[in-house]
Amino acid sequence: MASVVEIGRYNLIPLSLASLCACPCRPSSPKTLVFTQKRCCKLNFGIVFDGSKPVLRVRRIGIPINRRLIAAVARAEPDRFNEGKANEEVDKSHKLPANEDSVSEHQQKASQLKKRIVFGLGIGVSVGGVVLAGGWVFTVALAAAVFVGSREYFELVRSRGITAGMTPPPRYVSRVCSVICALMPILTLYFGQIDVSVTSAAFVVAMALLLQRGNPRFAQLSSTMFGLFYCGYLPCFWVKLRCAMAAPALNTRLGAAWPILFGGQAHWTVGLVATLISFSGIIAADTFAFLGGKAFGRTQLTSISPKKTWEGTVVGLGGCIATTVVLSKIFFWPTSLLSAIAFGVLNFVGSIFGDLTESMIKRDAGVKDSGSLIPGHGGILDRVDSYIFTGALAYSFVKIFLPLYGV
């Protein structure tokens, strides 16, 4: 705010305050308004209004000079020092949130990785115990996973990304199909076969869709039939592999030392050994593919899953084969090295194909995860997608191509 004092008639001349006052304690102003009157006098008066403190200066001079009376000091622009300091503070204020965001993002990733590791180890130990138990424990646990996974599948089908180009099945049909899918593993354990049950269930669901009110659509029928096949029928092969193949793995040393309280050597069947090796091969394939993609990934494998690379796929294949061969030496099954390598390749093919299938469904649905049941891992389908097709391939390999169940 400028302070103005008018004394007589003066001429307005712009001067620099530094030329009038060389006081180091007072900052200089870039622009100064000066009133002058040409009159000879031996006294030089100066009144400076700087903010709210006026300063009066009187100086005697020996020769006549112009009388200069500073009437006002108007700051037309902010001080450069203060302006530079303000700009620096602004820059810091802009940089600080960015640094905070990067630190927060790093902490969030570290927390998510910790959750993945903790819950992954917990899931691995639990699944290992369920596989060792076998029988009804294994079947009921599989049925529970199938029920949750089928619910996630039908929710994906009903999402906006997929329903934009199709008509989803009614909600009551989705719920009935989830229950049917959960019953399929139990029926497989009880009857030994699932063909009649699957055919009957598909017929009932198809009739319910065709006789519904309104306009039945083929998209409803196709998505529902694929749900029964994908979520219900394919997982049943794990029951047939683990529980139906009861031939003892006689050469397994671990089985010979197994406590009688937990079934003794008879508990170690070909189905148990094949299931353990297949599960371990899938885990190794996923782990090595992830690490290989992070370290060497350059070439994209497919547009369905942009993060998957050919380099990671090759590393995952090598890890799956190596794990299968090492476990075959430990369990002495399969006895042939060529059979062990072929079993590892088959497990990897089923793993990558199941992963890509679920990625395609999620991409069309426009979601990242199938659900949020498992912290750090997403939904059930996100964890078991690699196992859905592998069970059928592993069962067919052991049942058809390995003589005497590979013993």
Q: Encode pLDDT of 306-341 as tens digits.
A: 889 999 999 999 999 999 999 999 998 888 899 999
156 and 294 co-located in one domain: no
What is the pLDDT, as a whole number, of residue 132? 92
Contacts of 158 (CB under 8 A, 6+ apart): 168, 171, 174
Domain end point (choices 52, 72, 92): 72
Same domain, 327 and 238: no
Judgement on whether residues 280 and 401 belong to the same structural domain of the protein: yes
> In this predicted structure, which of 75-79, 169-173, 290-294 has the lowest mean pLDDT?
75-79
Which percentage of the chain shows pLDDT scores above 90?
A: 38
Q: What is the pLDDT of residue 37?
A: 45
215 and 287 share a domain?
no
Residue 344 CA to residue 337 CA, distance in Å, equals: 11
Bond from prior residue into 334 cis (ω within 30 degrees of 0): yes
Closest among 347, 354, 292, 349 to 324, alpha carbons compared: 347
Q: Which of 66-80, 91-105, 210-224, 332-346 has the lowest average pLDDT? A: 66-80
Q: Are residues 146 and 211 in the same domain?
A: yes
- Quick one: pLDDT at residue 300? 92
286 within a domain of the structure (yes/no): yes
Q: How confident is the model at residue 248 (pLDDT cuts 50, 70, 90)?
A: confident
Owning domain of residue 145: 135-242
Which pLDDT score is estimated for 364?
86
Among 72, 90, 114, which residue terminates a domain? 72
DSSP code, position 91: H
- E strands, 179-292, are none
Residues 213 and 269 in one domain: no
Specify whether 285 is located in the same domain as 384: yes
CA angle 356, 235, 226 (to 5 degrees): 60
The token duo for 263 is 């079934």
In a shared domain, residues 270 and 398: yes
The reply to whether 361 falls in a domain is: yes
When pLDDT is cut at 50, 70 and 90, the band that residue 211 belongs to is: confident
| Same domain membership, residue 407 and residue 270 | yes
> Does 330 or 378 have the greater pLDDT score?
330
Work out the pLDDT band at 87, boundaries 50, 70, 90.
low
**Maximum C-alpha span of the chain:** 128
Rounded-to-10 torsion of CA 273, 288, 373, 153: -80
The domain boundary residue, chosen from 57, 72, 87: 72
**End-to-end CA, the chain:** 99
Report if residue 1 sits inside a domain: no
Q: Are residues 402 and 254 in the same domain?
A: yes
**Do the domain assignments include residue 77?**
no
- In a domain? residue 105: no
- Give the list of residues 6+ apart from residue 271 with CB closer than 8 angstroms, or none: 134, 241, 242, 243, 244, 245, 246, 247
Over the chain, what is the mean pLDDT? 77
377 pLDDT band (50/70/90 cuts)?
low
In a domain, 80, yes or no: no
Let me know: does 183 contact 202? Beta carbons within 8 Å.
no
Does residue 128 lie within any of the structural domains?
no
Confidence of residue 88 (pLDDT cuts 50, 70, 90): low
Assigned domain for 32 exists: yes
Determine the average pLDDT of the residues in 48-52.
Answer: 49
Number of domains in the chain: 3
Task: Identify whether residues 154 and 233 lie together within a single domain.
Answer: yes
Token readout for 16 is 């620099």
Q: Is residue 200 domain-shared with residue 255, that is, in the same domain? A: no
How much of the chain, in percent, has pLDDT values that exceed 70?
A: 69
Q: How far apart are CA 72 and CA 33, in angstroms?
A: 6
